[in-house]
Structure 1
Amino acid sequence: MNIQDLRYFHELVNLKSYTKTAEKFGVSQPTITAAVKRLENKLGTTFLIRDQSHKSIIITRVGMQFDEHVQSILNELRIAEEEIKQNESATIPFGLPPIIGRNYFPTLVPTLLDKGILHRLNVIENGSYDLYHLLLDGHINFSMLGLTKVNPEPGIRLKIIKHYPMNIIVSKKHPLAHKKAISFKEIANENFIGLSSDYIHTRALDRMLKQSKISINTIYRSPDVMVVKSLVAQNLGISYLTTLSITKHDDVVSIPLLDANQPEFILAAATRENHIMTAKEEELWDILTK
């Protein structure tokens, strides 16, 4: 079975036009017709019905079902091609969320440097949600992730490293700063400074708002945790952050929450189950997961 025939077939199912499919690949219409016929003859079935009167095509039920498998085959092939390119370049595409990159990853740097791995990392910095999908699609092979729950999709291998609470942070001048702990409902009337939607904090916050049946007045959102902490330190509002992102140098107070069923910031390392690791990648995985 010819891989190029599968590519022609899948695009024909999408475009439903022999002319447009042929134009996309820069080949003749008979080339597309012959490819489909080869597949039908190989499997002894009919995938497409050509309506000559309306100059259109109808995809049979079997054709639609076959295309689902074709998509999986082409996707696996694309991932394999990506991995081969990555092996040839001797770099390791590696996802790193900003909070983890700033507050946890530096603890691994001495070991990575000693093992000759640090200079091989091609670091892609993004939110955990986006990195998870880059990993799933084969654009990166490894990533550190911040999660609020552990339910990986098939094909993803996760190793939980540590759990961190999610706390309310306020300025040292804020009336709540003296509190040892608070309930989520106590922040209902506060101005809130949040992170952008690609942070898991935003989804965790939405969950807590729904659970507590309150709404908040969000006055500003930023993709930068340092900006959020700076604005909170100026007493312009409060925020909701993992304790991993708070250091002793931040001019804020981190207050634990009393509510039940709170989300946690789960620090994890991730790779794909079907990724065959090089020797250096195996060393990297061992360092990430110890």
Structure 2
Amino acid sequence: MNNQDLMYFCSLIDTGSYTKAAAFFQVTQPTISAAIRRLSKHFKDPLVVQSNRKSKLKTTAAGALLYQKSKHLLQEIHSIDHDVLHASERKIRVSFSGVAGSMYIPEIITQFHQANIMSMLDTHLERSADIFQSLTNGDIDVAIYSWMVPINDPSYYIRNLHKTELVIITGLDDPWAYKNEVKISELRNRGFIARSEGYLTRECLEQEANLGNFKPNIIFTARTMQLMIDLVRQNVGIALAMQDTLKDTSNLHIIHLVPDQRLYAYMQIAMRKSFVPNDYQQKGIDILRNFHAI
């Protein structure tokens, strides 16, 4: 058993196809088949079964367990490779989602500047839906993000930073400018300005629509939060936003969902426990671990 065979096996399960797995690694299909045979012989189990060439691949109980453990192992190996190869680096890779970043990155930069280590920060902007996967893969060391539920995973140092309500915002000339509360069902016939898929407010809007058994009418997809807010101010449509991130509420009206239907966003900072900082990086890691202690 070797790492390459495990990579081929996981890709086969992920793609459901010997041909696609081979194409992904730019090898021949018999190469993938040979790896599966080696693993099957090692574990004395077929691992994957297929009634005929056109039927869907299925894992045996042993195959399902091997897939689960192999994915974790390969992620750890990827993390080890990066951490050892870059053990002497003077950088900490920090990714942040747009809203969480706008709230906390300026303060983090200030603290690094005051400690005279600002050059240590290597920052990246990612969607909330992608950022934790980057952390899991070992592509970053620290993540600052927001999501619909607080993430609690013992593999990471996680600190809760803030909780905020998701609200409907309208322009002052909107027909709903007099409302204080609405039910999810009332959103069915409204046109929304929304962020693209993978952003927290879009995912929450989709969830609300799912709870109300309808598809949201998205009349425009805004590339930035500011554009979304500006279009709402112009009464082009309404939007779902995180209340505490609305720095300027002029010409905006805020509407809450009824209490039993409200959604919240949770902002967190997380870092890999497997990341072992060198002596130079430790000062920056200490700042991040104690950032907004609660």
* Letter aligned with residue 7 of structure 1: N
Question: How far apart are residue 153 of structure 1 and its match?
Answer: 4.5
* Letter aligned with residue 185 of structure 1: S
| TM-score normalised over the length of structure 1 | 0.75
- Give the whole-Å Cα distance in 2 for the aligned partners of 1:77 and 1:97: 26
- Give the whole-Å Cα distance in 2 for the aligned partners of 1:178 and 1:63: 58
The 8 Å contact of residues 46 and 60 in structure 1, kept in 2 or not, is answered as no
Partner of 1:7: 3
- Give the whole-Å Cα distance in 2 for the aligned partners of 1:268 and 1:11: 31
Partner of 1:283: 287
Partner of 1:235: 235
- Cα 1:165–1:88, aligned 2, differ >3 Å: closer, same or farther? same
Question: How far apart are residue 233 of structure 1 and its match?
Answer: 1.1
Partner of 1:150: 150
Question: How far apart are residue 65 of structure 1 and its match?
Answer: 6.3
Partner of 2:136: 136
Three-state SS of the structure 1 residue aligned to 2:176 is helix
Unaligned runs of 5+ in 2: 13-17, 47-58
Residue deviations 1:167-211 (CA, integer Å, cap 9, x gap): 101112213223333333333322211111111212222222233
Aligned pair count reads: 264
RMSD: 3.7
Question: How far apart are residue 212 of structure 1 and its match?
Answer: 3.3
Larger mean Cα displacement after TM superposition, 209-218 or 159-168 = 209-218
Structural mapping, 1:253-268, within 5 Å? 253-268=253-268
The percent identity for this pair of structures is: 16
Question: How far apart are residue 121 of structure 1 and its match?
Answer: 1.3
- Cα 1:9–1:61, aligned 2, differ >3 Å: closer, same or farther? farther
The 8 Å contact of residues 94 and 143 in structure 1, kept in 2 or not, is answered as yes
Instruction: Please state if 1:182 is matched with 2:182.
Output: yes
Unaligned runs of 5+ in 1: 49-58
- Give the whole-Å Cα distance in 1 for the aligned partners of 2:215 and 2:3: 49
- Give the whole-Å Cα distance in 2 for the aligned partners of 1:188 and 1:60: 44
Larger mean Cα displacement after TM superposition, 228-237 or 172-181 = 172-181
The 8 Å contact of residues 111 and 287 in structure 2, kept in 1 or not, is answered as no
The 8 Å contact of residues 79 and 274 in structure 2, kept in 1 or not, is answered as no
Question: How far apart are residue 71 of structure 1 and its match?
Answer: 5.0
Residue deviations 1:120-173 (CA, integer Å, cap 9, x gap): 111110111100110111111111110111244552332111111111011122
* Letter aligned with residue 118 of structure 1: M
| TM-score normalised over the length of structure 2 | 0.74
- Cα 1:250–1:125, aligned 2, differ >3 Å: closer, same or farther? farther
* Letter aligned with residue 285 of structure 2: E
Three-state SS of the structure 1 residue aligned to 2:262 is coil
The 8 Å contact of residues 46 and 63 in structure 1, kept in 2 or not, is answered as no
Three-state SS of the structure 2 residue aligned to 1:177 is coil
* Letter aligned with residue 148 of structure 1: M
- Give the whole-Å Cα distance in 1 for the aligned partners of 2:88 and 2:127: 27
Instruction: Please state if 1:110 is matched with 2:110.
Output: yes
The 8 Å contact of residues 183 and 261 in structure 2, kept in 1 or not, is answered as no
